[in-house]
Structure 1
């Protein structure tokens, strides 16, 4: 029995020793059972409310490849506390013929998943409720209900039992002076960007310890974040302004505003940094700015879980060679280094027209994609990949055929036992199971095609036509085709590095040219595990050792 051990501790139990303890107990159990430990997986200080953890994702990936037969953990809640996630994990392991065993529950069954999953989900809800009650109690006592804000220091002290007293804050005089300066400058008409430039120029660290950005100052008035919106500066703690819910698709928390009547507001005059007059002046200017944006049609529209396509072809892919920051729009037609314009910590002030950038990159991609040397390399990688698929496919088909022959032999043996007076009921039950398995394997063989040929006879022509087709689709009038082509082009490019050279921009495109074109022949189910997804991408990022080469375009 090949075994994988999994261990986890969450952020409410900050002890690396906890991982070592779980591993030790699981190893002892495995040794007693005579199991072979092939791998150990762990997640440190990560909540069990999500499966988006590197350790458990590696565990799932290796299970699908058949690295082990059983997953061993201290308890089910180490694997996940979320009811949906533990059920999904159980399904994935069952599909891969991997059992789950814990020291607390033994071998995990559907019953465990249902009952323990519900109990763990209730535990999470109860923990969240207790945490919120504790936070509310601290706020009503005039203490902070959460993290620390810029301008204040955390007061560290213990109670009579040696437990830390949470929520006490004191004013940090140096940071408080920076807060007053930001409010005075903004009230005097300076923009948040100008203020951030000045702070960065003087080397004043931002709240995160890095550089100031205009968003750090502006924040979001509705959420109450950002320097200009923190009401603690006028002696008020506002708690429960928003709540967080987990996106079931990404596992990430999303902020949702709470009704104003649910807010908890506590006066803390000892923490006041600003006078009311300065605060109100800043609020009045913010209101005027919002009104001006509304009149110009640029008001921000709140959306929930809206996933938008990139506005432009290469949005989010362009980077500054000087600082590593992104390029963003500085006018209707020009893009420039966002760090240079928003923080002032980069000296790159060379801009480029967006349409010029897109035209140069697209023309270069079209030219280089059909380069004979690159196509020869593509064919080489294509052949290697299809060879691998053929070997895997033929091996799986042979294994399925061998299993059918084995089942037939076992059925013949069972028939002989019946003729000799064996226990017919038990033998018949086993025969039914074998017949069912035989039908499953035969169905798999009927659906699976032979592995594809090494080279498609018209691959060169197909390759070139696909490349030209992408380019033509981007120039055409069909919106659906343009969108599809843009998505494919974006996957060809990892990033576009823009370097200022003598007042002009040098473009360096990095990405995987050959790995995105779907040039392999289509099959129904090529020789993998029954039900596995069809692999269309025939060449990966390994166009050469170390990854795909960049293509310098000037």
Structure 2
């Protein structure tokens, strides 16, 4: 008695089960021509499963076929085409070796292959090459079809959290494409997640809130309770550009990792989907900026954590342990000076209490009446149609970003080993260059209109009252940190001129100050730069010290202020 088996597979969801029935029917006809009888218990099938190595894990039928082959449960294997077994070159080679070493099993295909023929290896090898070529052509056709759907305004992926899938059909009830529609309940949760991140909360805190509220996880749950939110899931949500109304083709980290393995460049394409926007561009950028946390997940246990940078190496300053006096210092320079004996590095430290006093003085300086009036005048010009100032600001911003990108690019080239942080900074700067260049084009073409209601709200707002409240003792450190990061795009510690004198260079965004005070989005990207000298005055009396802050490098205004050390501290115990 000869045990005869059949294997059938179709690879695409657009096909259907009749494809399996047709393959099995042809194999039964093939068996009759050879005088064989098929054992119905030895019919293996896989539906909508790829024939490449990537799809093997989903091919239960093929896995059982190999197990029964090893167990010698059949003598003849019938398939419609050799490519039904596999399209992968490695798996095809394994099958060929298996057939050569185990001649007890005979392979017969409906398109003319029979391992009892003398030249079956050559014919099977040629068919294998054709199957691999067809697989590559199929991938190309699938990619081309997906891009075509995106160009026509449809969506091609499973909806992200916050959206529902809506299928569209033509007059003949044939599926022509799918679109995403905003799910109001889930969209509100997405917006709350962005709001909490903007306020400085860590991703772990946001995940804990989602779990405590009983909100079902965005991914397919493995159990009946709806799954469990984790910080990594929150991070993926915040990084998804669809929430700012942009779908990125080949923008997933999985695709990037695959291209890196293959040694190929990642080519992405952006497709605008303004109808799917849930948050503003500014909000999305802030939630994905490194100013909220250096690790990418945290929320800042201290109000100054990650805000200051080193003038020497450009690295982020760290906070010392809470002992006698908490201070900020540059760990990269400290390590370089210690291990490499690099005396050019800056290893100065400055107390966080003094830095907070300096920042408070800087706010008083930057939001003084002359600066506020200058900003209001600029905003009034925008309302009256003067766009040239906006173009000039954008060009200046683009020039700075391009210079920063070139500097980071040179640093990456000079590296002897991979630096993930530096690479991330380069990617962030590159994205900002592209966005600013696009914004400049819109301004020059006259496509950007000033939101009158927002401009009027900012003209009426007084940022001084708002900014005084952010330093209240009951303001959470992460909240203060998020606000300071927006107000001061750059806080550079330039070192010390003596034991008690430290210098800083700050860039301040008046537009952000007006936006925060009015509860709106910033309209301009203009920034003001100034230097400040922080001096510590020790006292012989217990618990009595004073700090002096001076402003310089600003010929139009020079100021000095002396502030008590009883400044509310936002340090975390």
TM band (smaller chain):
0.3 to 0.5
TM-score by length of 1: 0.47
TM-score by length of 2: 0.45
